[in-house]
Amino acid sequence: MNDARHSSVSAILIAVLVLTMLAGSVTAKPDTMEIPENEGTSIFQPANRNLFLQNETSMDLIYPLDSGQPPAFGFNRFTNQLLSVDSAPVEHATKFEGNLTVRLFAGLSLDGPTCRLTNPVPGSPADAQTQFTVRVLAGGAQVFQNTTNRVTMEFDWTQPEEFVTSAWNVNFTLSQGDVITLEIDVEHNCLIDGQLYFDRYETASRIELNGQMLAPELDLKVDQNGAARVEFIPGTIWGDSSIDLTVVEVAGVYNSWAETVHGNWQEEQRLSHFEDPQSTRVGEGNQSVWVWSVNGTLEPGIHMVSICMTMTDIDPNEDCHVVIVHRTMVEGPPEPLAGTGFLLILIPLITV
């Protein structure tokens, strides 16, 4: 009974230790809270991927860091069709399932209460409000159309208004070479011209894609002598250029699977640290394969490869936008098939 109680208390202490370690780790957007129970690969995706307005014709995957007065697209009471912009072509086919949000920032060319004072009946033909209609196309096929909130604007870029519209459970497929298109129409009934802002940290007009946009693969290949290499397929649909930084850690040996969580290792367990790939090759489906050779040889037991990726389209003030953890059991060298005594017995039998 005492042994059973002791085992139960030990299990509780291990669970508390792991949960405490997880709570204290920096996980940023992907939620890496888990207690692994066996070998395998865990992938923690970011909450959103972003396509930012870049200019009059295109969107990019570069999160704007500059502050201050933003560039703008002007519009007035006579403007209808404002913009039609495309993303870069996707490099790998993908199927998107998730939610989609268009977030726009706008203001007046001049501060002042003109719009408010000339808005006697909001929502009527006599109002002086502003509203956007947005359409999103994937590979030329429309997947979303809706209007944003309606606002009576009063300020310029120093106090921009946010216009938002969302759709849930959106599904679309992109083939290699397809683009995502954002079309923006505007209804602006105020006498003062308006401006749609972009390319600044506070006014980053964009599409937010809330769904799986990555299909990474991670493996640790170990030969019979314990020599190991890490092979990683980033699986980014817009190619490797959308990855800002990759940090790879190889660690072991662990006492249990529950310990193999991102960021959990002692210095003596940390076997290799990598960033830029040591070599690359083109794999199946024209995907990039990144390769690293692990220092030394791996002892038998539980090992972990942990990857932290930061993406160019996610706020760089957050760490580890994508986390991939691969857990594996490294086996010891194979036992010899027979001892020398058995071989000595076989020799006369074979030579007779």
pLDDT digits (tens, 9 = 90+) for 205-248: 999 999 988 899 999 999 989 999 999 999 999 999 999 999 99
> Which one, of 187, 186, 194, 191, lies nearest residue 117 by Cα?
191
Task: Please state, in angstroms and rounded to a whole number, the distance separating the CA atoms of residues 306 and 26.
Answer: 14
Tell me 74's DSSP state.
E
Q: How many Cβ atoms from other residues are within 10 Å of residue 68's Cβ?
A: 9
Q: How many Cβ atoms from other residues are within 10 Å of residue 48's Cβ?
A: 21
Q: Write down the pLDDT at residue 333.
A: 76
Q: How many Cβ atoms from other residues are within 10 Å of residue 324's Cβ?
A: 25
| 2 pLDDT more than 50 | no
Pair 213, 309: CB distance under 8 Å = no
Average pLDDT of the residues in 166-194: 96
Pair 197, 203: CB distance under 8 Å = yes
Q: Write down the pLDDT at residue 322.
A: 95
Task: Please state, in angstroms and rounded to a whole number, the distance separating the CA atoms of residues 139 and 174.
Answer: 6
Tell me 332's DSSP state.
P
What is the average pLDDT score of the chain?
Answer: 87
Average pLDDT of the residues in 96-121: 91
Task: Please state, in angstroms and rounded to a whole number, the distance separating the CA atoms of residues 66 and 310.
Answer: 19
Average pLDDT of the residues in 336-344: 52
Tell me 89's DSSP state.
P
- Of the chain, the percentage scoring pLDDT greater than 90 comes to 74
- The pTM of the full predicted model, rounded to 2 decimals, is 0.83
Query: Residue length, the chain?
Result: 352
Task: Please state, in angstroms and rounded to a whole number, the distance separating the CA atoms of residues 137 and 214.
Answer: 20
Q: Write down the pLDDT at residue 27.
A: 36
pLDDT band of residue 118 (cuts 50, 70, 90) is confident
Average pLDDT of the residues in 298-306: 96
Region of 249 (left: φ > 0; alpha: ψ -120 to 50; beta: rest) is beta
Q: Write down the pLDDT at residue 6.
A: 45
Query: What single-letter amino acid sits at 97?
Result: E
Which 3 state secondary structure label does DSSP give 68? coil
Q: Helical H runs in 187-299?
A: none
For each of the domains in the chain, give its residue range(s) and CATH number, in order of start.
26-45+214-330 (2.60.40.10), 49-211 (2.60.120.260)
The tally of CA atoms less than 13 A away on the side-chain side of residue 116 is 7
